Amino acid sequence: MRNRALLALVVVAAGIFVFGVAGLIVSGRQEASSDFVAAPRGTPAGGGPQTLQLRPDSSPEPSPEPSPESSPEGSPDQTAAAYFQAWVKSDYDAMRELVDEPPDDFADQHREFEDAALSKSLRITVGNLVRTGNDTAEIPFTQDRDEQDAGTWRFDSSLHLAVRDLTWKVVWTPAVLHPDIQPGGSLVRTEPEAGPLRPVTRGGREFPQNSGAEAYIDNLMNQGVAPTTGVAVGWALEVENPGMPAKTVLSYKPEKRPVGVRTTIDYATQVAAARALDGVQRGALVAVRPSTGEILAVADRLGGRGAFERKYAPGSTFKTITAAALLANGLSPDSSVECPASYQIPFNRSIPNYQNEDHGTITLRQAFALSCNTTFARLTIERLNADTLVDQARAFGFGEGEGGGAGTCGSLRRPENPDALAEDSFGQGTVEATPLCMALVAAAVESGEWRPARPLADEAPQGELPQSVPLPSNVAEGLRSMMSAVTADGTAAGSGLPQGTAGKTGTAEDWHGGQDHAWFIGYRGDLAFAVFVEHGGTGRGAAVPIAARFLKAL
C-alpha cells in the first residue's frame, strides 16, 4: 500500500512537470519567473499575447489511492495541462477532444465569448489540484483578460475532471468560461448610446441661447449633415442566462461623454454677433474665417434660415465684384474716372447717384469709397459686357450651392440689355445675394481666394463643396486698397469701426416699394462679415453701427 501511494505521488509530480514543459514548448521563451509560460494563441481575440502560469504553490493534494479493479490512463494534471494549453492557443478542436460529451456548439460558445469580451490578451493562472474522489478532481484557475479601456478583467473559475472509460476527461459546462454563465447562457457586449448629438460650438459648448442660430442647428440635424443617431458612451459585458435578468460583470464608462457634433461656430463670436443685433427687428449678421471659409457666427432675425437662403438685392456691396472685373480688365485703383450726378446710358435710361451727388473726376478707388453709381454703370457699359460680369460673379460663388448644409449664395441672370447691365453693376437689377454670400465675398478679398462656407469642424461636410477660386493678385490687392478707402475716407469713415477694418456699404432698393435695405460687408484680420438690415435704410446709417458693435465686442 505504501508503494502504491508513493507511485501515485510520482505520477502527479510528472504531470506538473509535463504541464510546465508543454507550455515552455509552445511559448518558445521563458519569462523572469520560471513558473511563467507565455504562449501565443492560434487566433487571439484581440491580437495580443496569451499566457499560462502555474502558481508557485501549485503542489497537488495527496491523491486517493486508485481502485484495485482499474487504473485510469494518465492523470487529471495531464488532461488539465493539455486543455489549458489548447485554450490559450484557441485550439477548440483539441479542447473538444479532452471534454466528456462536449456540446455540439462547444467551439461556437468559445468564439461567441471571445467576440463579446474582445480581450487584447488572456492570462490563465492555475491553482492547486484537488482530488474530490477516486475518479474526480477539480482545478481552480484565474483568468486575467486585458480589456480595451477597462484594464485587467480578473475572475476565478474551476475546471472539473472525471474518469470516463478509463481516461481522465474534462467535465465541461459554460461556467468554465465564466462562473456566472449557466447552460444556455452567454456573455453579451452592450454599448449604450448617448442619444442624438446636437451641434455645438468649436470649443464644445452649447450654442448661446436666443443667439439667432437655432434654425441652423436644426437644419444640420434634419439635413443629415450632422449625425442624428447616438454614439456609444462606453460598454458593458453582461451574462444573460435563460429566465434570469442580465448581470453586468464588467463595464466601462468614459470620464467625458461626447460633447456633440462640433461646428465651426466660435462661442464668443456668436455672442458678439447676437448682441450686435439687439434692437434690430429683422436683420442678420454672418461672420466667416477668410483663410478657411469656416462659419464663425450666424445671428439671424430674418426668420428661418434667411441669412443663408433668403436673397436680396445687395446694392453697392456688389460693386466689389464689378470692381474685380474692372481691375481684371485693365483698370487700377488709381485710374482716373468720372463721377457725375447722373449718367445717361446711350439710347436708354439715366442712372442717378445717391442724392444726385457729383464728385467730378476722381480715382477708381475714390469712386468705390464714395459709392458712385454713375461711375460703375458707365465703366461697365464701356469696358465690360454681360458675360464678363456674370463670369466674375460666378468666381465669387454666385449661382453656387454652398454644400455642407450651409445654404446658397447669390444669383445673377445674364442681363439682356444695357439698362439691366448698368443696374446689375451696382447691385440692383436682377442680381440677388444672401448675407452669407456677401460675407464670403468680403472674405475672398481679404484672403485673395474665394472659398465655400464650411459649417462643421470635425468632419467633412456632407455633399460636394464648390471649388475654391483664387483671385488674380492685382485684383485682390486692388480690392483691399479700395475697401480700406471706404472706412478711411468714404461712406463708412468716422462711424466708430475699429482700426484695421475695411469694407463696403450698400443701400438696396426694395422692388416691392418698402424702405431700402441696408448692407455692410467687410473684414478685420482673419474675420470677414456681412451685416444686413431688412428695410433698415442706408448702409452707413443702419448696418455700419451694427458692425462696429460686433467688432468692438470681440
Q: What is the pLDDT of residue 463?
A: 52
How far, CA to CA in Å, does 238 sit from each of 17, 105, 114, 248? 38, 20, 13, 4
| DSSP string for 274-323 | HHHTTT-SSEEEEEE-TTT-BEEEEEE-SSTTHHHH--B--GGGGHHHHH
- Helix, strand, coil percentages for the chain (3-state, nearest 5): 30, 25, 45
Q: What is the pLDDT of residue 71?
A: 78
Distance CA 552, CA 544 (A): 12
Distance CA 271, CA 125 (A): 60
Which sequence spans correspond to the domains of the chain?
2-179, 199-259, 267-552
How far, CA to CA in Å, does 301 sit from each of 30, 460, 551? 73, 28, 19
Computed on alpha carbons and rounded to an integer, the radius of gyration of the chain in Å comes to: 40
At the fourth CATH level, the homologous superfamily of domain 2-179 is NTF2-like; domain 1 (3.10.450.100)
Domain spanning 267-552: CATH 3.40.710.10: yes
- Residue (of 438, 402, 463, 401) closest to 521 by Cα position: 438
Distance CA 393, CA 413 (A): 10
Q: How would you write the pLDDT of the chain (554 residues) with one tens digit per residue?
A: 444 343 343 333 434 333 433 333 232 222 322 232 333 333 343 444 455 665 444 444 455 555 545 678 889 999 999 999 999 999 999 999 999 999 999 999 999 999 999 999 999 999 999 999 999 999 999 999 999 889 999 999 999 999 999 999 999 999 999 999 999 999 999 987 766 667 888 888 889 988 888 888 777 666 555 554 455 578 999 999 999 999 999 999 887 666 677 889 999 999 999 999 999 999 999 999 999 999 999 999 999 899 999 999 999 999 999 999 999 999 999 999 999 999 999 888 999 999 999 999 999 999 999 999 999 999 999 999 999 999 999 999 998 665 555 656 888 899 999 999 999 999 998 999 999 999 999 999 999 999 999 888 865 444 566 789 999 999 999 999 999 999 999 999 999 999 999 999 999 998 777 899 999 999 999 999 999 999 999 999 999 999 999 999 99
Distance CA 20, CA 29 (A): 12
The crossing angle, in degrees rounded to 10, of helices 319-328 and 473-489 is 140
